[in-house]
Every structure is written in structure tokens, then in C-alpha cells.
Structure 1
Amino acid sequence: MGEIARARRLCWWMLTSFLGLLWGGMALSALAEAGRGAQPWPLTAVSVVAAAGFTVLYLRLVSAVIESRYPVRQVVLTGVLAVATAVTGGAQPFGAGMALVVWLSVVAVGGSRRRAFALGVATTLLGVALSAAAAASGWWHLLDMPDARGPGWLGAVVVANTAMYALLILASVVSNRLWLWIYRLAVRAHEGMEAHARLAVAEERLRFARDLHDLVGHRLSAIAVKTALAVRLSEGDPRAARDEMTSVNGLTRTALRELREAVRGYRRLDLGAELASVRGVLEAAGVRCELRLPYREMPEEVAPVFAYAVREAVTNVLKHSAATFCAITLSFTAERAELEVRNDGAPAREPADERADERDGDPGNGLEGMRERMAAVGGGVTVRHGTDGQFIVKAVVSLPIPG
């Protein structure tokens, strides 16, 4: 969720960045008017107060829009303050009129393109009308120079402001719609990864249930048949009944052994099938998977152990990271075999934090179970966080495995 929080924060900053253009434009416009000695100070004060109120409500509105909420009352009140800012500030596109553009840049991001286009046209017409009225009245008009008032000067101002308003509105709306689309796409991708992780866990439970059924169901059926036969033979042929019960005893011991192996995770899994399975799950979750395998088959004694470790490590990747890639490396010599699972999307942690988790009994991401299972065959598991946001799990087993 850290990645999603950072994406939300970046989206918020991008959607609020146009406020800098508003305040910067108002400041430059005021300085220019003051330099000409035509600064309407009462209107300036009203415009600044309206812009301050607009800014406060706008920041709240951005947060609501990012969360896919569109409070109508807040939208309307923010729009009223934007109009008040523009009216009292001269409504110049790169001045107080920027309040109209900033307001539209957020209001138009959540609806359809047709609605955004209609709002853009209406805002452009409103901004041009307000700026033309301010220019005609003689205040807040930067182009109002003594030699600028000639035939058609007001029409030239309208054409220039129309072009500037249209350009600003197009750039701001398209930019904000793009940023909000990217953020929501990231949220959906993260939710998809969580769904894949839940699916992987559910599939593992189903697989375990099938294993139990295959093991226990078959053995119990055979035991039931042989005990019924022994009962029938007990009166007429005690020797045959005894032989059947001896067979039942062997079946019972075998069933108990297989059940313990299934519960403890030591059934002989197919390493090749497991690697293909986890690769498919990772790529379905949008995680690029690289398999780095030896040119020879892994030793038969260590392959089932590493198959379980791969399954556990990849489940950990899906459930507890925002990974974009995962590399699985297998290697072995005559003395030892190694498995390494490396993925990104895990923030680095201090060693003191990891020791604290161990003292508190938090095994972290199911890795403690892997340590126990590897220890049972004389192996070990090491975990470390890389400085580049990578998470590395390495399992090492000495060969040959005792027993």
C-alpha cells in the first residue's frame, strides 16, 4: 500500500500544481498594474481574499476527486469563489482569470469527454467575457497602453484572450485527466495483484484438499474393504483373516506416514511443474518472471524441497510486495544446492526492525515456515533487503541430504 500512497500523493501534487500559476499570475499582474499607476487596490484586496478561499476549498476538492467523490456543494462554492477572484482581479488568462482554469482542471477530470468539452467551452466564454468587460472598463487590462486603443482594439483583446483561455484549459484538463487516469490504473493494478494473491492462496488450499483426498481417501477405502473381508473370514478361516488384518496394519502405517508428509509439506512435488505454475501466476499478476536454471536437472533428493520453497517464496512476493519483476535462480554442485528468489517492490528495512519482528514472534510473510522445513533437511534460509528496494530470499541445502 506504500506504493499506492505515493502514487496518490504524486497525483495530488500534480492536480494542485496549477495553483502556482494562479498566484504567480496574480502577483505579476498586480505588479504590472502598480507600475503603470493604475492599481485598483480595493479590488485587489477582494481578489486576494477570494483567491485564498478558493485555494482552501480547491485543495479539499482535489482530495475528493481523487477518491472519486464529487461533492456538488463544494464544486459550486469553489466555482463561485473562482468567478469572484476573476471578476475582481480583471479576469486576465495569466492573472486572476487563471482561477477559472484551475477550477475547471479538476471539475472536468471525472466526467465524460463530452461533459469536459462543454464545461471547457462555457468556461472559455465566461473568462473572455469577464476579461473583455474589465478591459472595456479601463482597469486590470495589461494591454491598455495609450497607443493600443485604436480601431478594433477590444476585438483584438477578445481574440487574444480566447486563444489563451482555450490553450490553458486544454493543457490543464488533458494533463489532470491523464494524471488521474494513471493513478486509478495503478490502483486497479494493485487490486488485481491482491486478487491474484488471494487466488493463489485459494488454489493452494484446494491443492492441499485434493492431496488429502487422494492420500487418505484411497487408503481408507482399502482399509474398509480389507477389514470387512477379515470379519467375514474370521469364523471360517482365521489364518486368512489374520493375513488381511496384517495387510490392514501396513496400509494404516502407510496412510499415517503419507498424511504426516502431506501436512508437513514434504510430499515429493514436481519442481519443473511448480516453476511453470509460479511463473504463470506471476505473469498473470503483471510481474515479469525470470527463471535462471542449471543446464542439468536438479538432484532428485533436493528438487521436492526447493519446489516447496519456490511456492512459498512466490506466494510471499504476491501477497506482500508491489513487485514488477521476480528472478528465480537455481544452482547446485556436488556439495550444496541453492535457491534464490529476488524481487523488487519491497522497501529496505533496518536490521534492528527485523530483529524486533523476530523477538515479537512475527515470522514475516510466511518465511518462518520455510525456515523450519529447510532446517528439517539440514538446510537454511537467509532473508535480506537490498538498498535498491529488492527483497532476496536464499535457501541453501547441503548435499547429500541425510536420510
Structure 2
Amino acid sequence: MDKAIKRVRRVVYWTLNTTLGLVWFVLGIGLLAEQEAGPVEWWRLGPSVALLVVFSVLFLRVTRAILDRRYAQRELVAGAGIAVVVAVLGTGAPTSWSFVSFAWLSVASVGVRARTAWIMAVTTLVVMWPLNAYRMIEFTAETDPATRAGIVVGSFLYTALMCGTLPWANRLWVWIWHIAEEAHEGREAQARLAVAEERLRFARDLHDLVGHQLSAIAVKSELAVRLGGDSPASAEMAEVRGLARTALRELREAVKGYRQLDLAAELASVRGVLEAAGITCDLKLPYRDAPGETAPVFAWVVREAVTNVLRHSTATTCEITLRLTPEETILEVRNNGVQKDAVKNGEGSGLAGLAERLGAVGGKLTAEPDRKGGFVLRAVAPTAKEPALAGRP
């Protein structure tokens, strides 16, 4: 994680924790006002402050979990209980202690669907409004019906305002953080793909240029050996021929290593690229890796398929499924925004090259629109059978 994304994470972290700072600030003002009004009930204040310290620790854990894309359910459940207890037990103006419940709501509603966040907000309003109104009437010792009605209405407006603003402000900040994080991951994925493309280009050029020259040297030296007979020069040329063939073999092995793709790394890279382009990517993978011979071929299929999705479609979702059976390894890349003419014209698809690669391992490739208005690229290759051990029936 570079300095820029760390800085964004730190800003969002402290912004979320600002709500906790407001809790202590509001509580401090309430305690000062209570000391001026009369004696403090320490048997209520002491446990309330102790519980608030515990709530603060839980709150910090929750905010860290939010930035890690986790939902700290246990901490939030415990925090909800503490918020209700301190609202009932706390001394002085109830608006001070009820702010703990609003702080809880501000982080509990992050990481859930908008509908769930609204349910949480309404539930907090239903619980805290009557409690605030009752405690406020008790605190002010008002007996006038009109004044009590005003307190009830004011408590409702105050509670509704807090429940309707704090959660969405924090959700906005976390949304900004997620955008920054996904953009950063997308850039990293694009950089990895660019490096992989450059390695493949280098391997291809090395094989085409140097490999061709070494082949020519091997052929010419073999011809010189035949023409030279038993002369010392012929023996030297025979050694040159052997060196040329060895160098050519080693070059091909090195190029093969450069051209090899890793399926797991490719899946992770293309997922980052798709999501950076605004396309939701759903990976459905088995618990084990694809067989060794088919994995590099399927990595090429994934790369080419995702390239076509980015270049030749208006997709908003892309689903990549890998299934392993005792007989076959099956890869499907499905998107929902294909342009039908793209495949018919064959522009930039590279499907013929993929079919050749799959044919080399006994597989086959199909690419066609589905009935739902999407497009499915399907690669199937036979699962390699492991040779039986000696001595086994």
C-alpha cells in the first residue's frame, strides 16, 4: 500500500472516530452543566463512565474493521447494549448520554445495505425517543402539559436529526474510501498485466530473432562438418554445432518459462481490472487448482476473454466460473453486455489462437450469445490422468 492510499485510509479512519470524540465532548459539557445545577450522583456516574470507556474501545475496533471491509458483529452487539444502559443510567441531561446510541448507529449502519441501515435508524429512533423524552421531563421536573408536549416534540426532532444524519455521513466517507481503494487496486492490476504483456513480447522477440539465428548456426555448422570430412576444422565445427543446439534448447526453455501464465494470478489481476472499469466481477472457483497442463492455457483464455469484455462489450457484470470434474476442466466467462457483431467480425477477439491452444491439450472452445442477452465463452479440456505407480494393479 503506497503513501497516497495510506493517507486516504488515515483520513477516513480519524473522520469516523470524530463521532466518538463528539460523544466525550457532549458528555463533558453535560457534566459541567450538572455540577452547576446540583450534586452529582456518583453511584450512577461512575458505572456510566466506565461503560463509556468500554464502548470507546469497541468503537475503535469497529472502525478498524470497517476499513478492512469486515463487519464487527460482536463489538456492535455489545456496543448496542452499552448504549442503552448508559442512556438509562447516566446522570444529568439525557441528551448527553443518548449521544452514545447515535455514535453506535453511525458505525453500525456502515457495511450493510441501505435498507438495513434505515431499519437500524428507525429502530434507534423508536427506542431512544421515548427514553429521551421521559428522562428530559424527569430532569426538568416539568408538570405543565404544554411544556411536556414541547419536550416530547423536541426530543423527537433531536433524535430524528441524529438518526438521519450521522449514519449517512459515515457511509459517504467509507464509500469514498472504497472508491480510492478499488482505483488503487485497479491500477496495480493494470500494471501487473502490462508487465506480463511486456514479458510475453520480450519472449516472443527473443525466440523469433535469437532463436532463428541459432537455428541457422546449427544448420550451417552441420553442413560445414559434412563438407570438412575428418579435418580438425570439421571437429571444431561439430563442437560449434553442439553448442548452438544446446543454446537453442536452453533458449526455448527460458522462453517457455516467460510465456507461462499463472491462472490464479491472472484471475486476481483481471478481477481488479474489471472492477476498476466499473464491471462487477464474480469469481466462482473450486477449492483446488486446475491441473498443471490446462492451467496456463486457461489463463490465456481468461486474459483474452476479459480483454474482449473490456473492448467489445457494454457489460456491467462478468462471471468467471471454473469447474473441475474427474473427466474435464471447464472454464466459463459470462458477461451481460455483448455486442453481437464483435464476435462475428472477429475484431480483436483472438478466439482462433485460443482454440489452437486448447486443441494442443485436447480441449475445445465455444463462444456464443446466451438466451438472456449476454455472451458466454466456454473452454473445456480433458483432465490429465496421472500415470499408475509401478507395482499397482
TM-score (norm 2): 0.53
Within the alignment, does 1:215 sit opposite 2:209 as a pair?
yes
Alignment of 1:22-33 (within 5 A): 22-33=23-34
| Residue 180 of structure 1: aligned partner | 174
CA distance in 2, matches of 1:233, 1:27: 102
Instruction: Give the C-alpha shift of residue 181 in structure 1.
Output: 1.5
Gaps of 5+ in 1: 236-241, 264-283, 287-403
Cα 1:178–1:191 shift into 2, 3 Å: same
CA contact (8 A) 1:15 1:176 kept: yes
| Residue 107 of structure 1: aligned partner | 108
Instruction: Give the C-alpha shift of residue 200 in structure 1.
Output: 2.2
Within the alignment, does 1:162 sit opposite 2:163 as a pair?
no
Instruction: Give the C-alpha shift of residue 231 in structure 1.
Output: 7.3
Cα 1:234–1:30 shift into 2, 3 Å: closer
Cα 1:179–1:91 shift into 2, 3 Å: farther
Instruction: Give the C-alpha shift of residue 224 in structure 1.
Output: 5.4
Instruction: Give the C-alpha shift of residue 44 in structure 1.
Output: 2.4
CA distance in 1, matches of 2:25, 2:215: 83
| Residue 311 of structure 1: aligned partner | none
Three-state SS of the structure 2 residue aligned to 1:69 is coil
Instruction: Give the C-alpha shift of residue 115 in structure 1.
Output: 0.5
Aligned length: 240
CA contact (8 A) 2:8 2:177 kept: yes
Q: Deviations over 1:155-206 (max 9, x none)?
A: 3222212211222222211121111122222222222222222222212211
Alignment of 1:118-267 (within 5 A): 118-136=119-137, 138-139=138-139, 144=140, 149-223=143-217, 226=220
Q: Deviations over 1:278-336 (max 9, x none)?
A: xxxxxx9x9xxxxxxxxxxxxxxxxxxxxxxxxxxxxxxxxxxxxxxxxxxxxxxxxxx
| Residue 362 of structure 2: aligned partner | none
Q: Could you say which structure has the larger radius of gyration?
A: 1
Cα 1:132–1:40 shift into 2, 3 Å: farther
| Residue 70 of structure 1: aligned partner | 71
| Residue 36 of structure 2: aligned partner | 35
The runs of at least 4 aligned residues of structure 1 exceeding 3 Å deviation read 38-41, 90-94, 220-235
CA contact (8 A) 1:93 1:165 kept: no
| Residue 261 of structure 2: aligned partner | none
Cα 1:41–1:228 shift into 2, 3 Å: closer
Identity %: 44
| Residue 62 of structure 2: aligned partner | 61
Three-state SS of the structure 2 residue aligned to 1:70 is coil
What is the alpha-carbon root mean square deviation over aligned residues? 3.4
Within the alignment, does 1:80 sit opposite 2:81 as a pair?
yes
Three-state SS of the structure 2 residue aligned to 1:110 is coil
CA distance in 2, matches of 1:183, 1:125: 31
Instruction: Give the C-alpha shift of residue 216 in structure 1.
Output: 2.4
Instruction: Give the C-alpha shift of residue 93 in structure 1.
Output: 6.9
CA contact (8 A) 1:4 1:187 kept: yes
Three-state SS of the structure 2 residue aligned to 1:95 is helix
Three-state SS of the structure 1 residue aligned to 2:145 is coil
CA distance in 2, matches of 1:80, 1:125: 15
CA contact (8 A) 2:45 2:91 kept: no
Alignment of 1:364-379 (within 5 A): none
Three-state SS of the structure 2 residue aligned to 1:111 is coil
CA distance in 2, matches of 1:168, 1:130: 15
CA contact (8 A) 1:64 1:70 kept: yes
Cα 1:119–1:165 shift into 2, 3 Å: same
Gaps of 5+ in 2: 256-273, 277-393
Three-state SS of the structure 2 residue aligned to 1:96 is helix
Instruction: Give the C-alpha shift of residue 97 in structure 1.
Output: 0.5
CA contact (8 A) 1:109 1:116 kept: yes
Instruction: Give the C-alpha shift of residue 217 in structure 1.
Output: 3.3
TM-score (norm 1): 0.52
